[in-house]
Amino acid sequence: MKIAPSVLTADFSNLKNELESIKTADYIHLDIMDGHFVPNLSFGPAITEQISMQTQLPLDIHLMVTNPLMWIDSFSKSNPKFITIHVESNQVSETIDRIKEKNIELGLSIKPNTSVESLLPYIDQAKLILIMTVEPGFGGQSFISEMMLKVEELVKIRKQRNLSFEIEVDGGINDQTIALCKAAGVDIAVAGSYLFNMEDRKKGIESLK
């Protein structure tokens, strides 16, 4: 299991040390919220660039925004591994094209009430599929175990179509729910408050892996 700590719950006044404490992870997950697509605001491209300069880990940028197309150029400056957009957002096809133009790997995400079927028109282009296991917008929510059915469905689709995207989950990940993720076929787990509430984050990452 690969682990992608979400820095949303990190102490931004002590960013360098916070990033150092999670350096044994596989990715840094950045939750970008516009206050419209989800009822919360997080941070923008300037903070993302600061994070990219203070870590060796590849960035996994998750755009929870209504109009992702307008943000691709700004966030691409951080040289992320993935930019993930929601299929529920505007101008999905145009945004996919822009991400690919920037030579960034495409991620696609769906909210808990959105079906896997909505991913199918674009799935051949994706390198990452992110299944939200909570309603996006706030940290610390409880894991929705029914979302593992979507993961199992994606595992089948990947095999049937001979695709190579990785399956990621985000929301409510801890030492108990990670086992459900593993059993369903998840490749990458995003962990936020569970990890950042720990004194020893290295130990926490190892236990999740």
Catalytic residues: 31, 170
Answer for the pair 75, 61: CB distance below 8 angstroms, yes or no.
yes
| Tokens coding 99 | 């991400």
The amino acid at residue 28 is: I
Residues 6+ apart with CB under 8 A from 160: none
CA 180 to chain centroid:
18
- Please, are residues 153 and 118 in contact by the beta-carbon 8 Å criterion? no
What is d(CA 55, CA 51) in angstroms, rounded to the nearest whole number? 6
Distance CA 175, CA 90 (A): 35
CA dihedral of residues 128, 130, 136, 138 (deg, nearest 10): -80
| Cβ burial, residue 163 (10 Å; 0-12/13-18/19+) | middle
Helices (H), 7-147: 15-20, 45-53, 72-76, 92-101
Q: Which of 26, 33, 15 is nearest to 132 (CA)?
A: 33
